[in-house]
């Protein structure tokens, strides 16, 4: 499908910082993709200069939070080609979110083609320094003007791009996590597995509390018994216990992480036993204390794999692996990032060439 492209005027283009100066999610490229849904069909797909758009004060998304998004990345390879990582998985997950939030699905080929063409237009924005990438944010919002509790009949879909540095300023080094023993992120039957903004808004209060105590990340427990580990702040979570890799099972409250899925497949290829099982926080703390839990790490698109060096739970801090990066986390990180950046052969066919 050919997508019309309206390019920025040369004088309107933004100044690009050096790769070493990139932070995360603060700077966006010169162009964006946009289309709208009306009369039961997607219409007028196009690439346009990055710009604001107007919304009526009664726009549905502002009142009923009917909104979904995705997080993806593209990487520059040693031969100067650019590759996305598993984009059809993101297309599939976006449609899963759309179904849960009563929003229209998007043809997966259109989804991937639109992002591909957008990156081609802004290819000079893809950074090359190790630890950097092009972050991709597809978003759908309800755009119909009305007040009333029903799904919108009109939607905007847009994609913006951001050249980014490491999600954590310290890069691939252990972080600290705070266990939310009282507040909850998602409940069975709710929207936990949809990538919708409300799920993230629900984490902000507890995240601020954790950060005020010196813990950048939060570990969330189940909403019924408040004892089973579910996921981290915007990321899935994994533990190495007695040499085996454990991660909470998907069950409607946990996001279907694409990095999670990739790490599981990588671990299995390495001969590591992977178990998707419920993990009682009290049992986990015991295993950390007696060192049978030797590693813990978050996995997600933004930060890839992030080791956890210390966990705070009910007034006590517990250290994991002497606050060092574990052997399994290191191996998985090296393999995953190596595939993403083209430094290791992609035998899984995960990378998708853009240009």
CATH 3.30.470.10 in the chain is located at: 10-164
> In terms of pTM, does the model score above 0.85?
yes
Q: CATH says 10-164 is which class? A: alpha beta
Cα within 13 Å of Cα(44), Cβ side: 10
Q: Where are the alpha helices (DSSP H) in 50-144?
A: 60-64, 87-100, 108-121
Looking at residue 169, its pLDDT comes to 80
Angle ∠(323,329,335) on CA atoms, nearest 5: 145
Q: CATH says 175-340 is which class? A: alpha beta
Q: Name the 3-class secondary structure at 163.
A: strand
Return per-residue pLDDT of the chain as tens, 355 residues: 789 999 999 999 999 999 999 999 999 999 999 999 999 999 999 999 999 999 999 999 999 999 999 999 999 999 999 999 999 999 999 999 999 999 999 999 999 999 999 999 999 999 999 999 999 999 999 999 999 999 999 999 999 999 999 998 888 999 999 999 999 999 999 999 999 999 999 999 999 999 999 999 999 999 999 999 999 988 999 999 999 999 999 999 999 999 999 999 999 999 999 999 999 999 999 999 999 999 999 999 999 999 999 999 999 999 999 999 999 999 999 999 999 999 999 999 999 999 9
CATH 3.20.10.10 in the chain is located at: 175-340
* Dihedrals phi, psi of 197, to nearest 5 degrees: -60, -30
- Helix or strand (DSSP H, E) at 161: strand 155-164
CA distances from 292 to 243, 246, 276, 327 (A): 8, 12, 18, 14
CB 48 within 8 A of CB 176: no
Q: Give the whole-angstrom CA distance, residue 24 versus residue 138.
A: 16
Looking at residue 41, its pLDDT comes to 98
CB 218 within 8 A of CB 178: yes
């Amino acid at each position: 499908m050919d997508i019309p492209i309206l390019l920025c005027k040369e004088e309107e283009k933004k100044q690009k910082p050096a790769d070493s100066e990139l932070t995360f999610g603060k700077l966006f490229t010169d162009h964006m993709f946009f289309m709208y849904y009306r009369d039961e069909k997607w219409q007028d797909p196009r690439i346009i200069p990055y710009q604001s758009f107007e919304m009526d004060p009664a726009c549905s998304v502002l009142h009923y939070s009917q909104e979904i998004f995705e997080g993806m990345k593209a990487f520059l390879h040693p031969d100067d080609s650019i590759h996305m990582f598993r984009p059809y998985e993101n297309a599939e997950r976006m449609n899963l979110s759309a179904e849960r939030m009563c929003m229209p699905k998007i043809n997966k080929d259109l989804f991937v083609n639109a992002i591909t063409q957008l990156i081609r237009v802004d290819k000079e924005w893809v950074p090359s320094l190790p630890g950097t990438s092009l972050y991709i944010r597809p978003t759908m919002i309800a755009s119909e003007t009305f007040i009333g509790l029903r799904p919108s009949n009109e939607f905007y879909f847009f994609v913006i791009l951001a050249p980014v540095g490491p999600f954590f300023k310290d890069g691939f080094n252990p972080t600290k996590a705070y266990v939310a023993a009282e507040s909850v992120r998602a409940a069975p039957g709710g929207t936990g597995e949809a990538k919708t903004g409300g799920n993230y808004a629900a984490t902000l209060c507890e995240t601020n509390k954790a950060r005020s105590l010196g813990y950048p990340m939060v570990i969330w427990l189940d909403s019924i018994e408040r004892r089973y580990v579910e996921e981290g702040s915007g990321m899935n979570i994994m533990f190495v216990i007695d040499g085996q890799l454990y991660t909470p099972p998907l069950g409607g409250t946990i996001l279907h992480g694409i990095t999670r899925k990739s790490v599981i497949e990588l671990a299995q290829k390495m001969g590591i036993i992977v178990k998707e099982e419920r993990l009682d926080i009290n049992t986990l703390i015991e295993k950390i204390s007696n060192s049978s839990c030797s590693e813990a790490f978050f996995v997600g698109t933004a930060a890839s794999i992030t080791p956890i060096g210390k966990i705070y739970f009910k007034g006590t801090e517990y250290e994991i692996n002497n606050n060092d990066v574990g052997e399994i986390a290191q191996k998985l990180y090296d393999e995953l990032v190596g595939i993403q950046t083209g430094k290791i052969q992609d035998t899984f066919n995960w990378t998708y060439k853009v240009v």
